[in-house]
Amino acid sequence: MLLNVLLIGTMSSLGLQWGFSDILITSLIAIFLAFLWYGVVPLTYWKRKGIPSVFALPVLGSTAKLALFLKSFGQITNDMYFQTPGKKYVGYHRFSQPTILLRDPELIKNVLNRDFVHFDKNELQIDEVGDVFSGRHLFFINGEKWKRLRMVLSPGFSSGKMKSIFPIVGEVSGNLKAFLTEKVDAAGERGYAVDLKDLCARFTTDSVASVAFGLQCDSIYDPEVEFRRMGRKLLEPTLFNAIMFFIIIEMPWINRFLKINFISKDVKSFFRNVVLNVVAKREEDGTKLNDYFQGLIQLWKEGKLRVSEKPIDDGPGGRHAHNPKVQEKLRKEIEANIKQNDGTLTYEALQDIAYLDMVIQGESKFGVSLCRGLKFHHSISGRDVRRRATSSKRYYLPNPEGEGLDGGLWLEKGMVVTIPIYGLHHDPEIYPDPEKFDPERFSPDNKRDKQAIYLPFGDGPKMCIGSRFAMLQSKLAVVSVVSRFQLSPNEKTKVPITIDPFNFILSSKYGQWVTMKNLKH
Ligand code: HEM
């Protein structure tokens, strides 16, 4: 357009008269040139650099199906991962933006851990002033601000802290068991058909409300309570939300101007009020609970939650869980463990049930499962982890075709590197028969050599801060359900799961249906 205006201006200043058709033709030429300049020329980037790349359409790039909401984030990177076997990394385009898809486990480990200093910034652009809720969330902030907040929050997720909140999550999982017992007993022989995706979200809501705010919200019994409604709204897979999330995630350079809020106003104001009310109530009656919120109030009083940029001193079925044999083995281990501990389940005993760990890890490899449903935030493991090259010192990636070859790539500052977790977890070279639900892959011995490529919580200094909490509540929920009920697929169960393309987290479109029955003794 600018070119068009300049052309028209130049022609007018030369005294040439313009008719409608002249203006139309000039405009079309200007649009065509802009299309070439912004939509086509950037696609030659990888060829110019001599780096293999995946197909990209002009303007829409390699992620066209994502832009058209035909596939989800995770599926798109997964497709690119499987189109490029044998490469250490390849180039692709998010619109016209050149981006790296990193495939090699060793390079992935370096980017996430050893060379983190080169990649310590998030690529997402959330307006910190206009969208205080998300803009100041650990997940979105960068550099020194991130480092400081991460350090302050980390003790709240230590194993010691998990032990202290164990009884609180234990109580919620007790509610889950009581609720299911009522339903399964009432359903009799035909069993109780339930969507695990929804049930796990309700369990998570109750457990987060208890642990974080000391609130009993009972969404297990009443799915329409406001806490749950607002939580659901936060990530509702509507077309509008899908477009907003798409802009925030895939077009962060546009969001710098649009300043889209990650969380809608009513959800924000609801949770803001929850926080203010809880603080006011505790201040008023002097209550001090052993929950996460009490820790935050303390940090806030000490001024430690102020996000500062001041540098800090570092100092020193068959294929999934319906599998009856797996259920049986798990049940036996749980029973043996509880028996050993005089009929109670302690925090330490829960950590000792090795097979429980293996089942949950086997499940989370799939990305969508009973345990994955237990996440409370946008778990992005089904999507991918991304890092942006930020250091003033440039970063070098070796030749993508193999060891010892000349020629690699100096990453330009700002270049985004994508780590295709879903693809890695489904690669038959890494996990033979990858779609098979097989907890044995995660036995202590087998797990050791998979460490670099088992990344449900990411890795390195930015690894999921809530992983211990996620595991704790997953374990407690699985124990409550498996020790009491037999799970089997029903006519609504979809295998394989259909991924919802409108949802920016990996989520099954039609839920995860099972039928629960009382165990036969
Ligand atoms: C099954 C459940 C969960 C999964 C699979 C999951 C997965 C992830 C992944 C893959 C990352 C990105 C890590 C990286 O960039 O290397 C992440 C980051 C994060 N997760 Fe989780 N998560 C889960 C549950 C939770 C819970 C329960 C909380 C909070 C209580 C939480 C809080 C966070 C935060 C704050 C970050 C950003 C950390 C940072 O940038 O320093 N997550 N999570």
The closest-lying atom of ligand 1 relative to the alpha carbon of residue 386 is 15
Residue-level pLDDT at 423:
86
Q: Identify the CATH homologous superfamily for domain 50-316+319-518.
A: Cytochrome P450 (1.10.630.10)
Residue-level pLDDT at 446:
78
Nearest one of 205, 169, 150 to 376, comparing CA atoms: 205
Residues with Cβ within 8 Å of 305's Cβ and at least 6 positions away in sequence, in order, are: 149, 152, 296, 299
Tokens of 498: 């259909």
Minimal-distance CA residue to ligand 1 atom 26: 466
Residue-level pLDDT at 306:
65
Q: Is 139 in the pocket of ligand 1 (CB under 6 A)?
A: yes
The string over 250-280, giving b where at least 16 C-beta atoms fall within 10 Å of a residue's C-beta and e elsewhere, is bbbeebeeeebbbbbeebbebbeebeeebee
The closest-lying atom of ligand 1 relative to the alpha carbon of residue 387 is 15
Minimal-distance CA residue to ligand 1 atom 30: 466
**Burial status of residue 22 (CB atoms within 10 A of its CB: 0-12, 13-18, 19 or more):** middle
Q: Is 458 in the pocket of ligand 1 (CB under 6 A)?
A: yes
User: What averages of pLDDT result for each successive group of 10 residues across the chain (521 residues)?
Assistant: 57 67 89 90 94 93 86 85 96 93 94 90 63 68 85 91 93 96 96 93 93 89 92 80 78 73 80 87 79 80 66 44 83 91 89 90 53 32 73 88 86 91 86 84 75 80 92 93 92 83 78 90 65
What is the gyration radius of the CA atoms in the chain, in angstroms? 26
- What is the whole-number distance in angstroms between the Cα of residue 346 and the centre of ligand 1? 25
Number of Cβ within a 10 Å radius of residue 284 = 8
Gap between the Cα atoms of 229 and 364, Å rounded: 26
Q: Is 377 in the pocket of ligand 1 (CB under 6 A)?
A: yes
Summary count for the chain: helices (H), strands (E):
21, 9
DSSP β-ladder status, 395-397 and 409-411: antiparallel
Residue-level pLDDT at 378:
30
Residue-level pLDDT at 174:
95
Nearest one of 199, 168, 208, 209 to 485, comparing CA atoms: 199
Give the model confidence (pLDDT) of 95-148 as tens digits: 889 999 999 999 999 999 999 989 877 666 666 655 655 667 788 787 888 888
Q: Is 390 helix (H, G, I), strand (E, B) or coil?
A: coil
Q: Domain ranges in the chain?
A: 4-46, 50-316+319-518
Q: Is 512 in the pocket of ligand 1 (CB under 6 A)?
A: no
Number of Cβ within a 10 Å radius of residue 429 = 10
Nearest one of 98, 22, 63 to 410, comparing CA atoms: 98
- What is the whole-number distance in angstroms between the Cα of residue 207 and the centre of ligand 1? 16
Residue-level pLDDT at 10:
61
Instruction: Give the CA diameter of the chain.
Output: 98
Q: Is 464 annotated as a binding residue?
A: yes
